[in-house]
Amino acid sequence: MSSTPYRTPEPDSRNAATIGKSVKIVGQIFTKEDLYVDGDVEGTIESQENKVTVGPNGRVQASIRAREVIILGQVQGNVETSDKVDIRKDAKLVGDITTSRISIEDGALFKGSIDIKKPEPKPVASAPGPVVARPAEPHSAAASGAVAATTTGVNR
């Protein structure tokens, strides 16, 4: 059994759009792919279905809205995710977080609020239960179509 302590793997920027450490952007950023920010950003960052990573050299003064946010650098602004916020060891975040999951490593600095909002469970289509035919009501005009389901199966 290995005695090496488990370390959270470094985020991979290879498959993401990248803002390099010598780049500064002031404005609104919208992206439909993962974004890796290692430079300076002021404004807003929005990547609803994707992941935004603030690299160790990243300095973000912006609100961030994404599916998932990983912070290794500095962020001043609110962070809202549908899935997860991950604040790594030497990161600094000042702002409010709205998310369904959060992870903070020891050594990270955070000042703000954390509001957990679990995603709404998707409605599950119920499997049709056994059909029990009821005796026709004497005065019912829709007797031929009357069906009473006694059980409802739920797909798990």
Q: Which residues bind other proteins (CB under 8 A)?
A: 87, 102-106, 108-116
Say whether 70 sits in a helix, a strand or coil.
strand
Cβ neighbours of residue 137 closer than 8 Å, sequence gap 6 or more: 143, 146
Q: Between 33 and 115, whose beta carbon lies closer to other proteins? A: 115
Q: How far is the CB of 124 from other proteins (least distance, A)?
A: 25
90, two tokens:
């030497």
| Phi, psi dihedral angles at 145 (to 5 degrees) | -105, 5
Nearer to other proteins, 90 or 105 (CB): 105
Answer for the pair 113, 97: CB distance below 8 angstroms, yes or no: yes
Q: How far is the CB of 110 from other proteins (least distance, A)?
A: 4
Closest distance to other proteins from the beta carbon of 27 (Å): 28
Nearer to other proteins, 13 or 98 (CB): 98
